[in-house]
Amino acid sequence: MLVVMRNDASAEDVRGVVTAVEARGLKAHPIPGAQRTAIGITGNKGALEAPIFESLPGVLEVIPVSHAYKLVSREVKLEDSVVMIGDVPVGGRRLAVVAGPCAVESLEQTLIVATAVKAAGAHLLRGGAFKPRTSPYSFQGLGEEGLRILAEARDRTGLPVVTEAVDVEGMELVEEYADAVQIGARNMQNFSLLKRAGRSKKPVILKRGMSATLEEFLMSAEYILSEGNYQVVLCERGVRTFSDFSRNTLDLAVVPAVKQISHLPILVDPSHGTGRREKVAPLSRAAAAVGADGLMIEVHHDPNRALSDGPQSITPEMFEGLVKELRQIAPVLGRIL
Ligand code: PEP
Ligand code: MN
């Protein structure tokens, strides 16, 4: 259920509704909008009695929310959300470019790549310190040492850092260093991790599970918002299909589908989405064209020797060329880069 406040409602009126909601053992989520504040109510088992809230001062109307996902839905918040990662806005008119290696391998490697992507125009640095690998024998990441390296790269380049937390136990450490916490495809339905991310003060980039439907994807985001963290960015990274020419099938159609239902920003990751270096630039251009709010791209200065995801990592030179193309495309789409 959604309580929509009048546009002249005072902060005290909003507090009054929150108190009334909480007094019933429910959770209130005030969502300020351009015109008026709405207050989402969660935690109710069945339908709530609208008249209880309709009579409170400052309330315009009370509307039932028809979808299972509520807080992520445009029914609750009409305007697009802009999530700040450090000083970088994700969502809105600007296309955000997240770039960096799949995994942090060493200080030298991270600084080379970070400096190069920064010079080419990236806004955010990515790099995994904790890697969810298919094989237990593959490189698992440098752990805390990797986080320290990312922090140093941030100090040197000014780029805010995005890095993955793979489990609840590791969340606190990642939060200490990261400007945004990534939740990976394999963890999209790790509900305890989602709830923990919902209690984090840091923005979260939630990647789509490799077999997740749109509804499952949005419900996972709903877990994070329902715990009080509204700073969520979605990321399409390809789903598994019968296609045998790429690692995954990048589902670009999900971008307009998300935009229709949800106010959350969505990035596209063409690196995991294709698994092949030569396909990253074409799919990046396509992602911008379908309305993605930005891109997440794996870059490595020596991709054939990368410790993870080398085949899909592009070189700094390729990245520079791609950003140049995106700069030309963005204005045509009414966006800036
Ligand atoms: C990654 O970003 O390196 C990663 C592991 O991505 P995904 O969770 O989408 O596979
Ligand atoms: Mn990777």
Contact 247 CB / ligand 1 (< 6 Å): no
Amino acid identity, residue 200? S
Euclidean distance between CA atoms 296 and 271, whole angstroms: 8
pLDDT at 120: 98
Residue 273 near residue 266 (C-beta atoms within 8 A): no
Q: Which two tokens stand for residue 26?
A: 């429910």
Ligand 2 midpoint to CA 126 (Å): 10
Reduced to 3 states, what is the DSSP secondary structure of residue 6? coil
* Mean pLDDT in consecutive groups of 10 residues from the start of the chain, 337 residues: 93 96 93 87 80 92 84 93 98 97 98 98 98 93 98 98 98 98 98 98 98 97 96 98 96 98 98 98 98 98 97 98 98 96
Residue 91 near residue 293 (C-beta atoms within 8 A): yes
> What would you report as the CA-atom Rg of the chain, rounded to the nearest whole angstrom?
21
pLDDT at 58: 96
pLDDT at 286: 98
Q: If you average pLDDT over every residue of the chain, what do you get? A: 96
Reported pTM: 0.94
Nearest CA, atom 4, ligand 1: 184
pLDDT at 281: 98
Nearest CA, atom 9, ligand 1: 185
Ligand closest to Cα of 300 equals 2
Residue 96 near residue 89 (C-beta atoms within 8 A): yes
pLDDT at 225: 96
Ion ligand 2, residue ranges at CB < 5 A: 102, 309
How is the beta sheet containing 27-32 ordered, strand by strand? Answer: 27-32, 37-42, 2-5, 59-63
Within 8 A by CB and 6+ apart from 244, the residues are none
pLDDT at 299: 98
Reduced to 3 states, what is the DSSP secondary structure of residue 64? coil
Mutate to test the pocket of ligand 1, among 124, 150, 237 (most ligand atoms within 8 A of CB): 237
User: Mind listing the pLDDT tens digit for each residue in 281-337?
Assistant: 999 999 999 999 999 999 999 999 999 999 999 999 999 999 999 999 999 999 999
pLDDT at 32: 83
Contact 184 CB / ligand 1 (< 6 Å): yes
Contact 237 CB / ligand 1 (< 6 Å): yes
Contact 102 CB / ligand 1 (< 6 Å): yes
Euclidean distance between CA atoms 101 and 81, whole angstroms: 27
Q: Which residue has the tokens 């379908």?
A: 290
Euclidean distance between CA atoms 239 and 331, whole angstroms: 30
pLDDT at 45: 77
Please report the atom of ligand 1 found closest to the CA of residue 103.
Answer: 3
